[in-house]
Structure formats: structure tokens, C-alpha cells
Structure 1
Amino acid sequence: MKRIFFRVIFALGLAAGLSGCIGVSYYAQSLKGHVEIMAARKNVERLVRDDATPEPLRARMRAASAIRQFASDALDLPDNQSYRAYVDIGRDYVTWAVFAAPEFSLVPKVWCFPVFGCVPYRGYFAKQSAVRTAAELERDGFDTHVSGVTAYSTLGWSSDPLLSTMFLRDKTYLAALVFHELAHQRVYINDDTAFNEAFAVAVETTGVRKWLRAAGDEAGLSRYEAGLNRSADFVALVARTKSELAKIYAGPGSAAQKRAAKSAAIDRLRTRYRRMRDRRWSGYRGYDGWFDVPINNAKLAATSVYSDQVPAFIRLFELCSGDYPRFYTAVRRLGRLDRAKRGAALEAATSCE
């Protein structure tokens, strides 16, 4: 499964200023889940030195430590205590994110939180809570999508640990997660998730390339680039369907007619995917899971959060000559613009200054 749905900034509840029963219970579960994880942390260096540490875990910790150091030394990412401790959480996902969108709109529902601003998802440490929230939203007429999350960020408010969920794949996947999450600590603009996520994906992408080249891992770099190409194909495929749906929703017709046209557009998306998978991708099936479960507006809208602005950020990085401090300064400068002007300024950028 691709990276798009595996990273969410998890909005932790800060007790000050909260009101309402639903609000209190939501923030309580957020805080409880995070505190339990923080209490279970084990120092990475001690795990490496401890003779009682199983060799497979020791090897993972050595790799993670080297990746963490590379992030600060080569990518100018924060040199703090984040990702210098480890927690085995004993499950495949650390949180579950709920996305929602109206039945005839691709604009996602947003939730607002103290400190972190507004985001187009709501995160839970218990899957049943996420599923229950999705069901409530569906009763209100929303399309919903629940996605498992392997890592989350507190934006440096606490020392985020490495999680066992971050080691479910190879070292390249781990490096991508660490670089991405630390990027959120370097630059974060309230109330603009698409900007924040695309920026972090750009840091992740350029960082992984640099890390693989530094390691002399040409085979790994080739695999990574092939994965990026498939990701771009997938995003373009989804974008085509979103364009079709936008026309359907804005056009004439009854709710029943729009519902039928929506279903037909999603069927065409699946058909196009199978054709692309079997021909262009030579049978690569890594995205089958995404297509094998229901597809709706919430799921399609969530894709855009992580992908739409990535090419523009990578182009800006190249305009900054691959210099990370200059790139971060340029991104912060864009972040100070009004949100309505920010995306256009990013797309129109012709220099790093």
C-alpha cells in the first residue's frame, strides 16, 4: 500500500479552553493514548548496547539511529529527542484517521483543534472509536473513509518516539517516515493541511533520494524511483476521476441521477486502474488494497491532501539548489502569505528568494 494514507498529524487534546461533552471525551482519548505511548518509551542507544536486546531489534535500532542522524546532518531537520526512543505498540496501526466529505462534493469536512488549527480528518487511538465516528457521519449524509496510520507527529510538542508500526516494511520506508514527520517540526502552517503535507512529502522524497545516494544503494534508489512513478500514475488516475465527479456534482440532474453517475465514474476508475496495473505496471499489485474496498468522496478527497502540491514544492527545492535551509526559509515565507494567495505563489515561484 502506498504512503498517502499512512501519516497524519494527530491533534492532541490540550485541556485548556475545551467545552462540550463530545469535545472532552475526544480529547481525553487522544491524551490518554499519547501518554501511554510516551510512558512505554525505551532509549534507542540503550537498546543497542543492551545484550538482552534481540539481534533483529538491535539491527533495526542501529538503522533507525543512523537515519535519525542523517536527518539532522544532511537534511537540516530538528536535532532533538524525537525518534531517539522506541515503543512496541503491539498492533499494526498506532491511530486511525476518519475522513469525511458530502455525498456530492469533494471538499473534505474539517475539524479544528487548539494549537494545531484545522485539519481534514479526526484521529483515534482505538479503531472502534474511529468506526463509530464514521458511522455517525454517515447517518448525517457524509461519505466516510477510515484509514490506519503508522506514525503521527506532535510537531515537537513532545519527543515523538519510533513506533513498531514504522518498521513493518524496509529501511527506505522507515527513512521516509522519519524525514516526513521531522519536516512537520521544521515548518507547519496552521489551517493548511494540503500545504503542510505536500511540503513534508517533498522533504521526504528528496531526503530519501539523498540518503540512498549517500549509502551507494543504486538498487534501492531504482526501486524507490519506480515507486514514485507508480505513485504519480495513481495520483493522475484519481485526479481524472475527481474531475469527472466535480462536473457531475456541479451539473443538472436529480440526486438519484447524480448518485448513479457517481457510481459509474468510480467503476471507470477501477477499470482504468486494472488496465494500468496489468499493462503499464506489468502486473504490480501494490495498490489493489486501495481499490478492493469502497471508494467514495472522502477517500478521493484524502488523496489530494497529500499529493496535489508536491510537484510544486519539489520544483521550489530545485530552485533553491537543493539547499535545505534555503528551502525551509522559502517555504516559511510562503506560509506567511494569506492562504488564498499561498498556493498560487508556490505554483508561480521562479526563484528561491
Structure 2
Amino acid sequence: MRADGMPRLLAALVAGLVALVTSGCSTIGYYSQAIDGQAEILRKARPISVVMADDRVPARVKRKLAVVEDARHFAGTRLELPANHQYTRYTDLGRRYVSWVLFAAPEFSVEGKTWWYPFVGRLEYRGYFSEKDARGEVKRLKAQGLEVYAGGVEAYSTLGVFHDPVLNTFFQRTDAELAEVIFHELTHVKLFLPGDSDFNEAFATANAEMAVRRWLTAKGDRAELARYETSLTNDREVVALLLATREKLRGLYARQDLSPAQMRERKAALLAELHTGYLGIRSQHPGFSLYDRAFTKPWNNARLNTVSTYYDLVPGFERLMAREHGNLHAFYADVEKMRYLSKKERRARLMR
């Protein structure tokens, strides 16, 4: 970034904040922390070429940055993704997560709470650069009677508003998973529809998985490709179980003949059934032990929504890609046309 980049960034962010002054103190506080967090990321960013030449930087970091560079080049030259100005710098935040994101939903509904944001519309999640701030919001939402799930986030995109740097938080992944992050976030830069989280995340997920397959194939890394495919297969089996549970809960909540106590009891039974179902899958596939941590924490409506947001519409995008016989230009054109449909129409088209 040029020397005048930071003042321009802060001016843009402050202008957005000023526009929200009439929304109330809590809103002002939220965007203030967002300004501070984004400013830190950009202020600490260094060109990757400088980082690679720095003898103080650990070899592991340099190796991961080389993977990013390779994936970014592939994205721009082979995947028609806007990679020219993205991920050319590196920021070490000195922490495990870049931000903390929370989801919320009523006790008897799988329809999540949404928040409105400038430029991107309503989204089903709320992000904080401070874990303390996130936990404070969790307490406030729970006090309103909502179910809440909060978790750390390793990567995110400003959708091309800024030239996003690579973050140290990306590096807790395998090389294939790291490349997937880059492809996922660049897909958001290519197309992001305001107010439709399910569409945006599923498109990025499906496109990134396809991209990793092509990247590993081009590298001739059959062993890593096989491991990646196994990982995706395992993911899909667990995701299918979680989405099926969410649909069962949706059906339960639609019933009019149950008292709150009865509904609560049946809900608990379905969530217990979810855990039993996972143990059944795990007993057949020892490799599934890596999901154990996810099942040590309780599942609720809000947490199930984190899964549906990213995966519910993925099969629809995969079918669309298959219909275009892997032609990326045609696939992207088909997806682009959906911006002119309503959210309901987009979902219907992808679900059929």
C-alpha cells in the first residue's frame, strides 16, 4: 500500500461510522472496534517479498507464504479469480484468530437472527476483532432469550474494498486447506450478493473445493489430492448428519400441538440423537476422531446455522458446475445471472 493508503482507509471507515451515528451508541461502538481491528491488520502488513527476505522470519512462515503465492498465481491465471491485488502482503497479528463471529437464533426456530451492515446488507452473523467484545455480545443476546454460538475465525475478506493481506492465522491448516482459504476469499471478491449469506458462502465453498482439486492436479500431487478428497468425503458425511438434524428441528418447531415443555423435551432428544449418530459414524471411520472436539460442545439452533450457511446450497453449485462440464467462464456467468433473482428464487434454483 502507498504511504497515503492508511489515511484514505481511515477516512473511508470514519465516513461510514459517521453515517451510522443516528443508529445508537451500541452501533457506534461496534463500528469503532471494526475500524480499529481493520486498521491494525493493514497497519502491520508488509509486502511478502520483504518478509521472505527477512532472516528473522521463521522458515515455516516462509514456506506457507510460498504456498499462498503459488495458489494466488494459480487463481489469477487458471481460475479467473481477481488475485492481482489480494494477498500480496503479510500481517502477523500475534494471535490465533483474526476475529470472533457469533450466530444467534430463537429457542424454537432455525431461522437465525440477522444484522444489517453498510454495503453488504443483512447477514446472519456478527463479527468482532476483540474476543472480550464478542463475549459481551453473547451475554446480551442470551439475556434476550436467544441461543448463541460464538467461535474464532482464521480468515475473512473485505470483498475487495481493501487489498487484504495474508494473516498468520491462516497457517493452522494443511497446504491444501490453506489454498482453499485463498480460493474461498477470492471467490467472495469476485461475487458477493448483499443480504444472502447462504448463497455467498456456499458459492465460495463449492468454488474453492473445485479450485483446490484443479490446483493439486496441476501440481501433480496425487497423494495430497487423495488426502484432500478423503477429507471432503468425511466432512460431507458429518455435514449431512448436522443438516438432517436441523431439518428435523425445523419440522418440530412447526408443530402447533406441543407445549413449550414438550417441544423442549423433543428438541433435547433430537440433539442427543445427533450425538449418537456421530458416534455411529466415528465407530465405522477411525479418521473421524478429528471431529471429536466439535462434538464435545453442545449443539443448538445457532450453531447448526453455522453449518447450513456454508454447506446447504453447495450441491446446487456443484450441479451447476457439472452442467457446464467444468467450464469456469460459463459457470461464473450462470452464477452472475442469479444476482438479478430474489433470494428465494436463487435458493429454489439451486435446490432443484
Contact kept, 8 Å, 1:47 with 1:61, in 2: the verdict is no
The Cα of 1:290 is off from its aligned counterpart by 1.3
2:81 to 72, 77, 81: 77
Contact kept, 8 Å, 2:243 with 2:307, in 1: the verdict is no
Distance 2:275 2:156 in 1: 30
- 1:189 — aligned with what? 193
Distance 1:257 1:16 in 2: 48
The Cα of 1:319 is off from its aligned counterpart by 1.8
1:239 to 233, 240, 243: 243
Distance 2:131 2:215 in 1: 34
Taking structure 2 as the reference length, the TM-score comes to 0.92
- 2:177 — aligned with what? 173
Higher relative contact order (CA 8 A, sep 6+): 1
**Partner SS for 1:153:** coil
2:157 to 132, 153, 161: 153
Distance 2:349 2:18 in 1: 36
2:282 partner letter: R
After TM superposition, the structure 1 = structure 2 runs for residues 104-115 of structure 1, keeping only pairs within 5 Å, are 104-115=108-119
2:280 to 268, 271, 275: 275
Distance 2:287 2:162 in 1: 43
1:250-286, CA deviations, whole angstroms, 9 ceiling, x for partnerless residues? 222111111111111101100110110111x235211
After TM superposition, the structure 1 = structure 2 runs for residues 193-204 of structure 1, keeping only pairs within 5 Å, are 193-204=197-208
**Partner SS for 1:15:** helix
The Cα of 1:52 is off from its aligned counterpart by 4.5
Distance 2:97 2:138 in 1: 18
Residue 222 (str. 1) matches residue 229 (str. 2) = no
1:17 partner letter: A
1:275 partner letter: G
Report the RMSD for the aligned CA atoms in angstroms.
1.4
After TM superposition, the structure 1 = structure 2 runs for residues 1-353 of structure 1, keeping only pairs within 5 Å, are 14-18=16-20, 19=22, 20-251=24-255, 252-279=257-284, 281-348=285-352
The Cα of 1:47 is off from its aligned counterpart by 1.8
User: Paired residues, what number?
Assistant: 336
**Deviates further, 337-346 or 119-128:** 337-346
**Deviates further, 15-24 or 339-348:** 339-348
- 2:4 — aligned with what? none
Contact kept, 8 Å, 2:234 with 2:288, in 1: the verdict is no
1:130-173, CA deviations, whole angstroms, 9 ceiling, x for partnerless residues? 11111111111100000110001100000111000101121111
Distance 1:347 1:270, change over 3 A: closer
Distance 1:230 1:187, change over 3 A: same
**Partner SS for 1:145:** strand
The Cα of 1:120 is off from its aligned counterpart by 0.2
Distance 1:334 1:148 in 2: 31
Distance 1:173 1:79 in 2: 18
The Cα of 1:245 is off from its aligned counterpart by 1.3
Distance 1:295 1:342, change over 3 A: same
The Cα of 1:55 is off from its aligned counterpart by 2.7
1:273 partner letter: Y
The Cα of 1:234 is off from its aligned counterpart by 1.1
Taking structure 1 as the reference length, the TM-score comes to 0.92
Amino-acid identity (%): 39
1:343 partner letter: R
Contact kept, 8 Å, 1:334 with 1:346, in 2: the verdict is no
2:268 partner letter: S
> Which ranges in structure 1 are unaligned for 5 or more consecutive residues?
1-11, 349-353
**Partner SS for 1:98:** strand
**Deviates further, 281-290 or 188-197:** 281-290
1:264 partner letter: A
Distance 1:225 1:29 in 2: 39
**Deviates further, 337-346 or 39-48:** 337-346
1:217 partner letter: D
1:294-326, CA deviations, whole angstroms, 9 ceiling, x for partnerless residues? 211100122100001101101111222222222
**Partner SS for 2:250:** helix
